């Protein structure tokens, strides 16, 4: 049995081992500082499909297929797949993964989806309800723009605090069979709403949720930032990254040395005109699978906290005068297994 340390924070009874992972990204992400880390860079934003939504589905399918192939498995070896995305009714996932015929659990955690998927799939490995699982998520600049902001042809001006939704997908396969690294614990996020209602300042909206999740995990496990090589947030961008360090400093927790934000890392904001950095479910998923997991597997680092962050509003709730509820889920991944 896993050890429930406090509400929503637990250690698994044995690690959910990382068997494989893969990231497929778009052209702009491929030209960014991490471009060489990703398994595939797809230059065509339509990925050969007729619509951007179908392209996003194909990115997600591609990430899973790559991850499965990289470890010499077939889709029949995967007992369950957990997936979600930002498109209304999560159709990026449902249409993308339809042909796999793998038992499917749909998630909605906005840009926190990769961490949520790893929480759920690692619990399934630990419980014995699956021997091998996949977690996958995706985002696409053009599907997000037309759904959440403006159709691209509108040519709207972006504000200084805005972020650029990544065209990217990442997949992680977990297994009960021993490998070099694995997930050993997690923290399930609480919905946090500090009253921000500026949809172009998501980093500030989400930073308090990530700060609280990291604080809860460190406190419950009686560990400190120095116990980890990296404490990774999903897509707070430059504004949100500054804020999370400040928020935790007020709690006497200094993560300034360990903190990395996938949204900051994936683009060269000055060169690539991405303002505060990258965002979208695929941002943290692809950076985890493309950059951090290989370092863990190679032994360059041994302990990371991965806290993806999501904004849980919709264009309609903001039109109805609401603020932005946010969430951050965390998994602890280690090579000390």
Range in contact with its own copies (rule: CB under 8 A) among 117-125, 158-166, 246-254, 256-264: 117-125
Q: Is 193 exposed, middle or buried (0-12, 13-18, 19+ CB in 10 A)?
A: middle
Range in contact with its own copies (rule: CB under 8 A) among 85-93, 217-225, 243-251, 289-297: 85-93
Nearest CA-CA partner of 333 in 300, 287, 296, 286: 296
Give me the sign of the Cα torsion angle 212, 216, 219, 221: negative
Single residue of 126, 145, 229, 235 touching its own copies by CB under 8 A: 126
Nearest CA-CA partner of 260 in 284, 230, 215, 292: 230
Single residue of 67, 68, 123, 285 touching its own copies by CB under 8 A: 123
| Count of residues engaged in binding its own copies, rule: CB under 8 A | 67
Strand 168-175 and strand 132-139: the pairing is antiparallel
For the bound state, the minimum distance from the C-beta of residue 11 to its own copies, rounded and expressed in Å, comes to 9
Range in contact with its own copies (rule: CB under 8 A) among 2-10, 34-42, 199-207, 264-272: 2-10
For 130-145, the DSSP string reads -SEEEEEEEE-HHHHH
| Residue linked to tokens 């904001």 | 269
* 189 touching its own copies, by CB under 8 A: yes
User: Rounded CA gap, 337 and 325, in Å?
Assistant: 36
Is the distance from CB of 85 to CB of 107 less than 8 angstroms?
no
* 3 touching its own copies, by CB under 8 A: yes
Output 25 or 173, the one with its CB closest to its own copies.
Answer: 173
For the bound state, the minimum distance from the C-beta of residue 276 to its own copies, rounded and expressed in Å, comes to 21
* 178 touching its own copies, by CB under 8 A: no
Catalog residues that contact its own copies under the rule CB under 8 A. Answer: 1-4, 7-8, 10, 12-13, 50-51, 53-54, 76, 79-80, 84, 86-91, 94-95, 97-98, 100-110, 116, 119-120, 123-124, 126-131, 186-191, 193, 312-317, 320, 322, 325, 327, 329
């Amino acid at each position: 049995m896993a050890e429930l340390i406090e509400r929503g924070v637990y250690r698994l009874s044995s690690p959910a081992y990382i068997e494989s992972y893969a990231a497929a990204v778009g052209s702009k992400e491929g030209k960014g500082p991490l471009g060489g880390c990703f398994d595939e860079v797809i230059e065509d934003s339509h990925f050969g499909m007729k619509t951007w939504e179908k392209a996003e589905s194909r990115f997600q399918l591609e990430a899973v297929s790559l991850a499965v192939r990289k470890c010499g498995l077939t889709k029949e070896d995967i007992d369950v797949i957990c997936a979600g995305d930002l498109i209304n009714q999560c159709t990026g996932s449902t249409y993308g993964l339809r042909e796999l015929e793998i038992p499917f659990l749909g998630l909605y955690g906005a840009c926190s989806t990769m961490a949520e998927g790893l929480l759920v799939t690692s619990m399934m490995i630990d419980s014995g309800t699956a021997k091998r699982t996949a977690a996958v998520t995706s985002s696409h600049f053009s599907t997000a723009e037309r759904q959440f902001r403006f159709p691209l042809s509108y040519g709207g001006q972006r504000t200084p605090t805005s972020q650029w939704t990544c065209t990217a997908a990442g997949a992680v396969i977990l297994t009960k069979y021993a490998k070099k690294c694995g997930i050993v614990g997690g923290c399930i996020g609480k919905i946090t709403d500090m009253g921000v209602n500026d949809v172009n300042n998501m980093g500030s909206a989400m930073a308090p949720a990530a700060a609280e999740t990291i604080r809860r995990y460190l406190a419950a496990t009686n560990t400190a930032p120095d116990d980890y090589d990296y404490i990774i947030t999903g897509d707070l961008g430059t504004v949100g990254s500054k804020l999370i360090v400040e928020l935790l400093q007020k709690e006497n927790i200094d993560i300034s040395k360990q903190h990395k934000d996938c949204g900051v890392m994936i683009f060269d904001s000055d060169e690539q005109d991405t303002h505060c950095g990258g965002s979208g479910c695929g941002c943290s998923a692809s950076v985890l699978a493309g950059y951090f997991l290989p370092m863990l597997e190679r032994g360059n680092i041994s302990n990371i906290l991965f806290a993806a962050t999501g904004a849980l509003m919709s264009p309609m709730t903001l039109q109805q005068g609401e603020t932005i509820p946010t969430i951050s889920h965390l998994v602890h991944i280690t090579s000390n297994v």
